[in-house]
Chains A and B, each alone.
Chain A
Amino acid sequence: MRLSFYPGCSLEGMANDYARSIDAVFRNLGIDLVEIEDWSCCGATAAHSLSQTMSVLLPARNLAAAEKLGHDIVSPCANCFNRLRFSQNMIKKKVFDIPWPVTGDIRVHDMTRFLAEPARIKSIKERILRPLNGLRVVCYYGCQMVRPPKITGYTDYENPQTMDRIAATAGAQVIDWSYKATCCGASVGIARKEIGESLTRRILQKAQQAGAEAIVVSCPLCQSNLDMIQKDRSKRHTPVFYFTELLRLSFAEHVDPKWFKMHFTDPVPLLRAKGLLS
Chain B
Amino acid sequence: MQNIISDPDQARKHDSGKERKLIGDRGDYFLNRMEGETGANISACYQCERCTNSCPVSHFMDIKPHQVIHYVQLGWREELLKSSTIWICLSCEMCTTYCPNEVDVAEIINHLRNMAAHSSITPKEKSLAVFHQTFLEVLQKSGRVNEFRLMNAYYLKPDILHERIKNKALKEDLLLGITMLRKGRLKLFTPKSRAIKEIKRVYSQTRGEIV
Interface residues of A (CB under 8 A from B): 9-10, 12-14, 16, 38-41, 43-54, 57-58, 61, 99, 143-144, 147-149, 157, 182-183, 185-188, 190-193, 195, 199, 224, 228, 261-264
B residues in contact with A144, CB < 8 Å:
92
How many of chain B's residues have a CB under 8 angstroms from any CB in A? 58
Q: Contacts A48-B110, A54-B203: A183 and B185 contacting too (C-beta < 8 A)?
A: no
Contact B183 A262 (CB under 8 A): yes
Nearest-CB distance from A220 to chain B (Å)? Answer: 10
Pick from A51, A57, A185, A264: contact of B114, CB below 8 A.
A51
Interface residues of B (CB under 8 A from A): 56-57, 60, 88, 90-94, 96-97, 104, 106, 110-111, 113-114, 117, 125, 127-128, 130-133, 135-136, 139, 143-148, 151, 154, 169, 172, 176, 179-180, 183-187, 190-191, 193-195, 198-199, 201-203, 205-206
- Known A46-B132, A144-B92, A147-B92; 13 more pairs at CB < 8 Å: A9-B145, A10-B147, A12-B190, A13-B148, A13-B186, A50-B117, A50-B136, A61-B199, A148-B106, A185-B57, A188-B57, A191-B127, A263-B183
Contact B57 A148 (CB under 8 A): no
In the complex, A51→B148 CA distance in Å? Answer: 24
Contact A51 B176 (CB under 8 A): no
B residues in contact with A199, CB < 8 Å:
56-57
Least CB separation from B187: chain A residue? A13
A residues in contact with B91, CB < 8 Å:
45, 48-49, 187
Q: Contacts A9-B144, A14-B180, A45-B132: A183 and B206 contacting too (C-beta < 8 A)?
A: no
In the complex, A130→B202 CA distance in Å? Answer: 50
Contact B193 A40 (CB under 8 A): yes
Sample (14) of A-B pairs whose CB atoms are under 8 Å apart: A12-B146, A12-B190, A12-B191, A13-B148, A14-B185, A38-B194, A40-B139, A46-B139, A52-B111, A183-B56, A187-B91, A190-B131, A193-B172, A224-B185
